[in-house]
Amino acid sequence: MTSRISRDELAARIARDIPEGSYVNLGIGAPTLVSNFLPRDQEIILHTENGMLGMGEEPAPDQVDPDLINAGKLPVTELPGASYFHHADSFGMMRGGHVDVCVLGAFQVSERGDLANWSTGAPGSVPAVGGAMDLAVGAKQVFVMTDLLGKDGTSKLVAACSYPLTGVRCVTRVYTDHAVFDVGESGFVIRELFADNTRESLQALTGLSLTEGAS
């Protein structure tokens, strides 16, 4: 086994790559952790696709307002400078390339940047896509935050996705608990190695041919 960094450490690592002034959408689940590590003294504006810019943190229990929720349907707050808008505007912001960074979870990411994160295609499951496909194609940079290996030990970085696709050639960079990878012209490029991981150990884990790039 190679060593890994924790989910919080990974969230903090992603936060460091988000410059002040960015408009950012954090996907449901682990990506929302990134907000805990965005520097408080910097103005980074969070977009939630149900219709708000300038989203703040979770409210105190007596301040929970059912009219003020995020895309995960959890209660949030509004920061000074916040704005509300309808769904078509909100997804226009996304699809129109106005959002700088989107951080999404993944089941699989392929070498050419295809993303699968909405359905395992399991028979009998009720499909639900939400905004996943819109987020995948819209932001200027699409970051994926994920464990490198699934619960069954198989690599989530793959030559080609076997799960139903969310978007084609849409992923910019993949932040995993083992390393950070850019999606390059000919496969994944290792941008940063965590702990004692090496190119060779990651090639063994993923079964992919990896290159090392400048960080």
Partner 1 sequence: MFAIRTKVRLANILTMRLGGLGMISKVVPAVADAVAGVADGDTILVGGFGRAGQPVELIDALLAQGARDLTIVSNNAGNGDVGLAALLAEGRVRKMVCSFPRQADSHVFDALYRAGKVELELVPQGNLAERIRAAGAGIGAFFTPTGVGTVLAEGKETRSIDGRDYVLEYPIRAQFALISAFKGDRWGNLVYRKTARNFGPIMATAAAITVAQVDEIVELGVLDPETVVTPGIFVNRVVQVPERDWLRGGRFVGQQESAATGATA
The reply to whether 49 sits near partner 1 by the rule CB under 8 A is yes
Residues that contact partner 1, how many (by CB under 8 A): 45
Binding segment (CB under 8 A) for partner 1, from list 44-52, 140-148, 178-186, 199-207:
44-52
Q: Parallel, antiparallel, or unpaired for β 101-104 and 115-116? A: unpaired
The reply to whether 48 sits near partner 1 by the rule CB under 8 A is yes
The reply to whether 78 sits near partner 1 by the rule CB under 8 A is yes
**Interaction residues for partner 1, span 58-77 (CB under 8 A):** 62-70, 73
Collect all residues with Cβ–Cβ distance below 8 Å to 85 and sequence separation of at least 6: 51, 52, 53, 93
What token pair was written down for 5?
A: 């960094």
**Nearest alpha-carbon partner for 7 in 177, 155, 207:** 177
Instruction: State how far the alpha carbon of 86 is from the alpha carbons of 89, 91, 93, 178, in Å.
Output: 6, 9, 11, 39
Options 9, 20, 43, 49, the catalytic residue:
49
CB atoms within 10 A of CB 158: 19
Q: With respect to partner 1, which residue has the nearer C-beta, 98 or 199?
A: 98
Q: In what order do the strands lie in the sheet with 157-158?
A: 115-116, 108-110, 157-158
Among 35, 166, 176, 206, binds partner 1 (CB under 8 A): 166
49 included as an active-site residue: yes
Active site residues: 49
- Site residues (CB under 8 A) for partner 1? 48-52, 62-70, 73, 78, 84-88, 90-92, 94-95, 114, 124-134, 137-138, 164-168
